[in-house]
Structure 1
């Protein structure tokens, strides 16, 4: 394979990766905890875009439980975003694990 062909393929892959990253930015995942009393929504750029808490989850005598529910839902949302990003990038790379992509 000559160098110019390889460079064209690299540029094409870079362009495709940028497209996937733009698509991921538009996608959202949702995670809940405590049977749905805490809901966290994150986008494909690993940013939390919404948190909702049912009034039932707010107990002034047990703030620690609410903190744990928020933490659990947030961590689950981040796992879902990472899985979604890996799946989308896997389509692009043909399943090859390329370090540093996601």
Structure 2
């Protein structure tokens, strides 16, 4: 492979990395559990940015139920982030031969 071709490929990969980071930063998902009793909002870096818990959950004083609802909402939000980022990666990498089928361990 020629040096120029390698440089061009590295340039494309650098642009892909920049585009990917912008995509990750723009992702926000929301998931709920218990018919909306607990709702979690998560960004593309899997950081929880908002949690809403309906007052009725506290009225029941059922600690185990609240823990289960939070766990379910967070797990669903993580799944949705993975799904959204996988879909966006397909779009970004589609223009680079050999990259579109790439699976990144731990990311998807």
TM-score (norm 2): 0.82
- 1:50 matched to 2:50? The reply is yes
Following superposition, the deviation at residue 3 of structure 1 comes to 3.2
The equivalent residue for 2:35 is 35
The equivalent residue for 2:76 is 76
Following superposition, the deviation at residue 69 of structure 1 comes to 0.2
Conservation of the 8 A alpha-carbon contact between 2:16 and 2:93: no
Task: Give unpaired runs (5+ residues) of structure 1.
Answer: none
The equivalent residue for 1:96 is 101
Give the match's secondary structure for 1:96.
coil
Conservation of the 8 A alpha-carbon contact between 1:17 and 1:89: no
Conservation of the 8 A alpha-carbon contact between 1:31 and 1:74: yes
Query: In structure 2, what is the Cα distance between the partners aligned to 1:101 and 1:72?
Result: 20
TM-score (norm 1): 0.86
Conservation of the 8 A alpha-carbon contact between 1:17 and 1:92: no
Query: In structure 2, what is the Cα distance between the partners aligned to 1:2 and 1:70?
Result: 54
Task: Give unpaired runs (5+ residues) of structure 2.
Answer: 95-99
Query: In structure 2, what is the Cα distance between the partners aligned to 1:10 and 1:25?
Result: 23
Following superposition, the deviation at residue 93 of structure 1 comes to 2.1
Deviations 1:58-89 (A, max 9, x none): 222x1000100000000000110011111111
